[in-house]
Amino acid sequence: MNALRHVCVVNNSGIKPAVLNISHGGCRRRALYTIIPYPQQPVSYKFMGVTIKSAEEIEKMRVAGRLAADVLRMVESHVEPGVTTQDLNDICHDFMVNQQSVVPAPLNYRGFPRSICTSVNHVVCHGIPAEKKLKNGDIINIDITVIKDGYHGDTSRMFQVGKPSIQGQRISRIAYECMKIGIEMIKPGIRLGDIGHAIQNHAEKNNCSVVREYCGHGIGKVFHEDPQVLHYGKPGTGLMLEPGMTFTIEPMINLGKRHVKLLPDEWTVVTKDHSLSAQWEHTNLVTESGFEVLTLHPDYGL
């Protein structure tokens, strides 16, 4: 199965869908709806195929988001040379199930065999925890998704293993800046193409590239729902944001070329040129005046 075919399969079933040439007709058809201003919105409904969350759902997503953030905060001290990604999986799994009473969303999701994703060095995303030990200078993305009370919180960040390498630090920083630039643009009336363009611009002006086959996604009761949030694009295009929408921004940024390949395990995505790749992710809410990051941890900030 080649990468593109995989993406199509993935896309049809709703996992982190990313494909090319998507356009959301993003006009604000206010007249067709009676929109009660956030946060009083009592029931969820769909707008241009995108769920607008009710006040009650948003509160549940705040709880799920904070729990996902807590897992990342907890695992940080365990990321050091000699630990295996399987160890990190087990530590997170135990914490989620026994301390937090949440469901680790990745486990058995479309057949994914572990509770978290661990993507080391040239692995772009969906790395499967295994017995390989982390070594000094590695970079790793740990991606946590919890389900609490039926709602998902999805967040990931980079960690440096032991003494940070110059290149590892650089790609992690640029990926972080790409995510932050995207999140800080979120407000009603802006379009997804505006956000994708700003992210792409920041990556490319730093001589890095944006992975196109995977993207951010709407999230709520469903792990991966509309809209697709591309990390590249054209200003003035795509879905127009409305208060009550919840979606991730999770740019995957490569130090070399943007092209990726899928390993035979049918999950692990790596850079074709084996260059380093980094990713950061938050789950975000569109508010009346801007945004709220639902997966923020007070110790980390954005």
Residue 143 sits in the site that holds ligand MF3 (CB under 6 A): yes
Distances (CA, A) of 121 to 118, 160, 171, 199, 279: 10, 10, 10, 21, 11
Q: Which residues contact 135 (CB under 8 A, 6 or more apart)?
A: 81, 82, 161, 162
Decide if residue 225 touches Co ion (CB under 5 A).
no
CA distance 282 to 296: 8
242 binds Co ion per the rule CB under 5 A:
no
Binding mask 62-91 for ligand MF3 (x = CB under 6 A): ------------------------------
Q: Which of 117, 203, 255, 262 binds ligand MF3 (CB under 6 A)?
A: 117
Confirm or reject binding of residue 250 to ligand MF3 (CB under 6 A).
yes
Judged by CB under 6 A, which stretch of 53-61, 103-111, 162-170, 232-240 contacts ligand MF3? 103-111
**C-alpha span between 42 and 181 (Å, rounded):** 31
User: With binding defined as CB under 5 A, does residue 143 bind Co ion?
Assistant: yes
213 vs 250 by CB, closer to ligand MF3: 250
Triad 99, 104, 110: Cα angle to 5° = 165
Q: Does 112 help bind ligand MF3 (rule: CB under 6 A)?
A: yes
Q: Are 296 and 289 in contact (CB under 8 A)?
A: no
Closest contact distance (angstroms) between CB of 151 and ligand MF3 is: 15
Distance CA 237, CA 25 (A): 8
- Does position 226 interact with Co ion (CB under 5 A)? The reply is no
CA distance 245 to 239: 11
> What letter would DSSP give residue 191?
B
Nearer to ligand MF3, 38 or 192 (CB): 192
Minimum CB separation from Co ion for residue 154, in Å? 4
* Binding span for ligand MF3 by CB under 6 A among 20-28, 110-118, 163-171, 226-234: 110-118
- 109: contact with ligand MF3 by CB under 6 A: yes
Judge whether 192 and 227 are in contact, CB under 8 Å: yes
Q: Which of 279, 24, 287, 9 is nearest to 155 (CA)?
A: 279
How many residues belong to the site for Co ion (CB under 5 A)? Answer: 5
| Binding residue for ligand MF3, selected from 62, 126, 157, 297, defined by CB under 6 A | 126
16/197 with CB nearer Co ion: 16
171: left (phi over 0), alpha (psi -120 to 50) or beta: alpha
Choice between 55 and 76, CB closer to ligand MF3: 76
CB 241, CB 189: distance < 8 Å: yes
Interface contacts to ligand MF3, rule CB under 6 A: 15-16, 106, 109-110, 112, 117, 126, 143, 145, 154, 250, 281
